Amino acid sequence: MTKAQTTARREETTPVAPRRDGNGAHGAHEDPKRETRGGSAAGRRFRPEDYLDHPIAIIGSGGFGTTLAVLLAKKGYEVNQWVRNEKQSWIMREKRENQKYLPGVTLPLNIYISQSLPATVERARIAVIAVPSQAVREAAETLLPCITDPDSIIVNVAKGIEHDTYLRMSEVIADVVGDQNPIVTLSGPNHAEEIGRDMPGATVVASNRPECLPVVCEMFSTRSFKVFPHTDLVGVELGGVTKNIVALATGICDGIGYGDNTRSAIITLGLSEMIRFGRAMGAKKETYMGLAGLGDLIATCTSPHSRNRHVGEQLGRGESLDEILESMHGKVAEGVPATRFVHEYALKHGIDLPLTGQIYKVLFEGKPVTEGARDLLKLM
């Protein structure tokens, strides 16, 4: 596809993400200085047109990575997707479907499946790391030798904290690749099952190099999927971590048989705990009123697509954690490891997180679910 064809295709399918007032419905998403940055030397380096003739690399073959591959391919971009498993790679290439993680969604022919990471990243100026949080460091280490262009943008979509280091995902990537390249985190209420089928949705992106965000917003936005720039990288990342813990709690209450009133109370309690933890880590309170906080929290705590709510619900029905995780056949509920890491960090630093403490006791100390739910309700 020529540059002119690609530009025409982009203009046909994708409006630029609309401006939002910082105090608007999405909660301080957009940096009001975004348009003025283009005059700076840094701003001139990151122009969407400089990325159009290059493929976009997707590292990982889970549901959301595949969804982004489909979204970008439908816009006319060349997409290279790295799939480690040989069998899954063959199925995706020959059947044009990710039957394990995104069944029913056809993979466009301009998604090129490969088991070779160097071939996947070759010529790419945007690389998306779409693996579970505890595999992000390994993915970044594998990616490092392939990233030679300082203007290449690395986009992380994992929602987690690294065990032992307690680093956020962008910090893990920076720890491996350094600060030469822009590192972007994309986070919000983004269930792959819906985005992959062009259902309307929105998300936010934040970065250590905010001057690159207009490129990411334009390239990832579609008529049905809006991407907004955000100035609070810490809050965007931690909102995506802690909301999963709250989803475990609401799932437990749903599994036991409690109703909407209980779920709403738990969500409200959870939001206050998310803000408390986020502010202790340097996040802004207003971030949690937007898509990366409340928006993601509502979707995760109420949707049948939510893996974390599913785990909690099955716990509430009497299944063991090991049985539940085994039945998920490799799909990851990020709230389980996040509960451990957030709880440990909060204890070390004196952050009061009673909801997280109760979920930790149920998951890792063998506390009966009914007792955990009873003590959880006492916090309301």
Tokens in use for 198?
A: 């062009």
Alpha helices in the chain (DSSP H): 3-13, 41-45, 63-74, 86-95, 117-121, 136-143, 169-177, 192-195, 213-220, 233-256, 260-280, 296-302, 307-316, 321-327, 335-349, 354-364, 369-378
Domains and their CATH numbers in the chain: 3-230 (3.40.50.720), 235-378 (1.10.1040.10)
pLDDT at residue 250, as a whole number: 96
**How high is the pLDDT of residue 4?**
41
Least confident window among 1-5, 299-303, 308-312: 1-5
75 in active site: no
What are 163-204's pLDDT values in tens digits?
889 999 999 999 999 988 999 999 999 999 999 999 999 999
- As to burial, measured by CB atoms within 10 angstroms (0-12 exposed, 13-18 middle, 19+ buried), residue 163 is middle
Catalytic residue among 75, 100, 226, 243: 243
Residue in 378, 338, 368 with CA at minimum distance from that of residue 252: 368
Q: Which two tokens stand for residue 284?
A: 């802004």
- Chain-wide mean pLDDT for the chain? 88
Look at 142-151, 264-273, 354-363 and tell me which has the smallest mean pLDDT. 142-151
pLDDT tens profile 119-139: 999 899 999 999 999 999 999
